[in-house]
């Protein structure tokens, strides 16, 4: 799974999460030496803050883009410089915003003040030398990940892309284990830097009145931090019975392929056998776990090759989907400035991401596109970010973001759910639509990506929250990582891991400091959005066969929510589209209902659970 990371190129910029006023907000009590601040002062402060942030955002974004598409010493220094400047300004404004916590202001001003205080990802400490050090560490960690390689010898080195391709196709257990171990040689040197980064950022969080970064991150969802954690547990509880059934079936079939000595039927699944470097999605093992009966399942990768789709044509087709919903075409600069392929002459960060350089019209994506069905869906996802960014571009600076960060991730994936056989036929990629008897195959393939991902999407930040709070000490970083993976995913390390291995660093979002709960939320919301949009479009097919392609009515309803940005709570934004202000995973169960019946039949007599 490729998935996007930051919603703009600004390093250490305001994240997309929202929050209400936190009880731990520091305040300034009037004293003889402290002037009384007023509502007018607060409004003036907000206006000035937005001007200052806007002045730095463009060069910060440009520097970040150049660094990630041309990794070298100079671009790293340039990115670190602007990152430190923007991070320091954001932290300073966040602390100054707290001075108005007890001032009675209008709702709009209060929301903007709260956003400034609560929306930093890694708040920099006030001390300039510590702020600069934090910025340098974040830049170094990204560079270490982006330039990481596994070398069998001096003349035989492989990039993450090379190894991921092997992981996705090989059935040689020994080779898969080598690739899995090989990529994890890049992360141990990150551990000391990461530990220092956590210490510095926690200091910055405490200066804002939070106990630690964990409390800051969890508090950014328009509800108290503790209630948010409870909400995640509720949503996972809705999905878990279906995940357990999928896990049981996959483990049994992998045992048949590799032997139960390699895949014990009473333990978690070894992580290197699931077709993905992080075992976060399992679609690449579909051929091993698919139904035994002959099924007519469309191979999108093969269809792309047959119709001579190159990287640009794949992106053009994704654009046409949004055009069919009534959205305007992407600007010409998008095609001139985006990175679609991995350059041969330099190191780049290949992780797929969507960028809004000037927070207006300079939209871009950065990918090293592989011509596969999976990447075809990822491109739709990335453009979803871009269209969302453009929809809210006229909002005040502090409202230019999604209702919560899961919304941004969900929009593109919602569109990807419409990449159905019906859609593929309409755009000429296939000649016919398989009948409903083939739906189990399609649903299983999708569940191997979507449902298999859900617990991984939850546990990454479960680990970080424990690290940030100090519950997990540096000596136990790796131990805690695998304990959580076994608990939520039922996935285990294939070999014993050293305490200093720092396997979390082998996942981009950890050294890249991108909050991950957004992806969990996105996997819930996308099915909720899809079900609603299908209803708006007048769809009469089963929800898993619905495509909103060509429905301007659905596009209008979607855009009405997107234009709000984060000017309102996510509950209000959700209500605008769905009529309901609560996230609900029941749409997932509706979507995959036929598959759940089939899985239960397959699992009869099997040993399930982990």
What's 221's DSSP letter?
B
In Å, what is the CA distance from 151 to each residue of 155, 157, 160, 429, 494?
A: 8, 4, 11, 39, 20
DSSP assignment of 280-297 equals S--GGGHHHHS-SS----
Helix (H, G, I), strand (E, B) or coil at 222: coil
CA distance 524 to 239: 9
φ, ψ for residue 291 (rounded to 5)?
Answer: -55, 150
Q: Name the token pair of 392.
A: 């809210």
Most distant CA pair in the chain, distance: 82
pLDDT digits (tens, 9 = 90+) for 76-103: 999 999 988 988 888 889 889 988 988 9
Q: Which of 359, 375, 382, 409 is flagged as catalytic?
A: 382
pLDDT digits (tens, 9 = 90+) for 177-217: 999 999 999 999 999 999 999 999 999 989 888 899 999 99
Q: Name the token pair of 272.
A: 């290197």
CA distance 29 to 558: 45
Q: Could you tell me the pLDDT band of residue 298, with boundaries at 50, 70 and 90? A: confident
User: How large a percentage of the chain has pLDDT more than 70?
Assistant: 94
CA distance 254 to 166: 17
Q: Name the token pair of 391.
A: 């929809």
Averaged pLDDT for residues 307-315: 97
CA distance 262 to 253: 12
Closest alpha carbon to 300 in 162, 434, 436, 170: 434
- Please determine, for residue 14, whether its predicted confidence score (pLDDT) is greater than 60: no
- Please determine, for residue 403, whether its predicted confidence score (pLDDT) is greater than 80: yes
Residue with tokens 């990630």: 68
Helix (H, G, I), strand (E, B) or coil at 538: coil
CA distance 429 to 382: 21
Whether 218 contacts 19, CB under 8 Å: no
φ, ψ for residue 355 (rounded to 5)?
Answer: -125, 145
- 268 contact partners, CB below 8 Å, separation of at least 6: 485, 486, 489, 490, 491, 492, 610
Residue with tokens 């994506």: 365
The number of beta carbons lying within 10 Å of the beta carbon of residue 258 is: 16
* Bridge partners of residue 156, in order along the sequence: 153
pLDDT digits (tens, 9 = 90+) for 92-145: 898 899 889 889 999 999 999 989 988 788 988 989 999 999 999 999 999 999
Whether 66 contacts 75, CB under 8 Å: yes
Q: Could you tell me the pLDDT band of residue 33, with boundaries at 50, 70 and 90? A: low
CA distance 378 to 376: 5
- 81 vs 31: which has the higher pLDDT: 81
Residue with tokens 């400047």: 85
- β-pair type (363-366, 353-356): antiparallel
pLDDT digits (tens, 9 = 90+) for 569-601: 999 999 999 999 999 999 999 999 999 999 999
Averaged pLDDT for residues 464-485: 97
- β-pair type (269-270, 149-153): unpaired
Q: Which of 249, 351, 509, 530 is flagged as catalytic?
A: 509
> What is the pLDDT, as a whole number, of residue 24?
36
pLDDT digits (tens, 9 = 90+) for 506-533: 999 999 999 999 999 999 999 999 999 9
Q: Could you tell me the pLDDT band of residue 448, with boundaries at 50, 70 and 90? A: very high
pLDDT digits (tens, 9 = 90+) for 148-175: 999 999 889 999 989 999 999 999 999 9
CA distance 522 to 529: 10
- Please determine, for residue 31, whether its predicted confidence score (pLDDT) is greater than 90: no
Q: Name the token pair of 559.
A: 């855009």
- Please determine, for residue 305, whether its predicted confidence score (pLDDT) is greater than 80: yes
> What is the pLDDT, as a whole number, of residue 34?
56
Q: Name the token pair of 262.
A: 């390699």
Averaged pLDDT for residues 337-348: 94
- Helix pair 405-416, 570-578: axis angle to 10 deg: 30
φ, ψ for residue 159 (rounded to 5)?
Answer: -85, 175
Whether 182 contacts 163, CB under 8 Å: yes
- Please determine, for residue 7, whether its predicted confidence score (pLDDT) is greater than 70: no
The number of beta carbons lying within 10 Å of the beta carbon of residue 70 is: 15
Average model confidence (pLDDT) across the chain? 91
- Helix pair 311-324, 373-391: axis angle to 10 deg: 50
* 84 noted as active-site residue: no
Instruction: Go through the chain and tell me how many residues it has.
Output: 610
Residue with tokens 């000596």: 475
Closest alpha carbon to 218 in 506, 469, 480, 471: 469
Whether 487 contacts 309, CB under 8 Å: no
* 382 noted as active-site residue: yes
pLDDT digits (tens, 9 = 90+) for 237-264: 999 999 999 999 999 999 999 999 999 9
- Please determine, for residue 11, whether its predicted confidence score (pLDDT) is greater than 60: no
């Amino acid at each position: 799974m490729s998935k996007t990371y930051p919603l703009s190129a600004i390093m250490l910029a305001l994240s997309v999460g929202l929050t209400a006023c936190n009880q731990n907000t520091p305040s300034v009590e009037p004293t003889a030496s402290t002037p009384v601040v007023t509502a007018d002062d607060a409004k003036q402060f907000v206006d000035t803050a937005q001007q200052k942030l806007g002045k730095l955002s463009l060069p910060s974004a440009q520097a970040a883009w150049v660094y990630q598409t041309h990794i070298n010493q100079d671009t790293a220094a340039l990115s670190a410089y602007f990152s430190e400047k923007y991070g320091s300004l954001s932290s300073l404004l966040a602390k100054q915003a707290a001075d108005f916590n007890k001032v009675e202001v209008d709702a709009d001003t209060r929301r903007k003040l709260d956003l400034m205080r609560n929306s930093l990802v890694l708040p920099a400490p006030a001390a300039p030398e510590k702020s600069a050090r934090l910025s340098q560490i974040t830049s170094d960690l990204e560079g270490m990940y982006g330039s990481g390689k596994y070398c069998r010898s001096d003349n035989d080195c492989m990039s993450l892309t090379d190894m991921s391709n092997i992981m996705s196709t090989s059935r040689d257990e020994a080779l898969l284990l080598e690739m899995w171990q090989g990529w994890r040689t890049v992360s141990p040197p990150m551990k000391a830097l990461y530990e220092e980064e956590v210490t510095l950022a926690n200091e910055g969080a405490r200066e804002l009145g939070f106990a630690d970064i964990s409390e800051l991150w969890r508090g950014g969802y328009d509800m108290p931090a503790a209630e948010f954690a409870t909400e995640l547990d509720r949503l996972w509880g809705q999905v878990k019975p279906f995940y357990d059934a999928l896990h049981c079936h996959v483990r049994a079939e992998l045992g048949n392929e590799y032997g139960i000595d390699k895949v014990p039927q009473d333990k978690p699944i070894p992580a290197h056998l699931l077709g993905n470097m992080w075992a976060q999605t399992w679609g690449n093992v579909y051929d091993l776990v698919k139904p035994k009966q002959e099924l007519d399942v469309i191979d999108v990768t093969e269809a792309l090759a047959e119709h001579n789709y190159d990287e640009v044509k794949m992106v053009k087709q994704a654009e046409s989907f949004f055009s069919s919903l009534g959205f305007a075409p992407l600007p010409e600069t998008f095609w001139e400035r985006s990175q679609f392929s991995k350059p041969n002459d330099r190191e780049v960060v290949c992780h797929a991401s969507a960028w809004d350089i000037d927070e207006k019209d300079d939209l871009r994506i950065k990918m090293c596109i592989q011509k596969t069905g999976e990447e075809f869906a990822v491109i739709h996802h990335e453009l979803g970010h871009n269209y969302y960014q453009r929809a809210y571009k006229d909002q005040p600076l502090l409202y230019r973001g999604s209702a919560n960060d899961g919304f941004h991730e969900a929009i593109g994936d919602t569109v990807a759910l419409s990449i159905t056989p019906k859609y593929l036929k309409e755009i000429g990629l296939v000649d016919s639509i398989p009948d409903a008897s083939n739906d189990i195959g399609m649903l299983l393939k999708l569940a191997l990506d979507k449902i298999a991902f859900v617990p991984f999407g939850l546990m990454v930040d479960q680990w970080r929250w424990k690290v940030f709070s100090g519950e997990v000490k540096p000596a136990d970083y790796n131990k805690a990582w695998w304990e959580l993976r076994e608990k939520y995913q039922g996935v285990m390390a294939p070999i014993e891991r050293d305490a200093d291995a720092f396997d979390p660093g082998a996942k981009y979002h950890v050294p890249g400091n991108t909050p991950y709960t957004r992806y969990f939320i996105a996997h819930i919301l996308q099915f909720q959005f899809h079900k609603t949009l299908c209803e708006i479009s007048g769809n009469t097919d089963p929800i898993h066969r619905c495509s909103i392609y060509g429905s301007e009515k659905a596009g209008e309803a979607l855009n009405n929510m997107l234009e709000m940005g984060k000017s309102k709570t996510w509950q209000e934004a959700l209500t605008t589209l769905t009529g309901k202000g609560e996230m609900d995973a029941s749409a997932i169960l509706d979507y995959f209902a036929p598959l759940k019946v089939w899985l239960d039949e397959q699992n009869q007599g099997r040993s399930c659970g982990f």
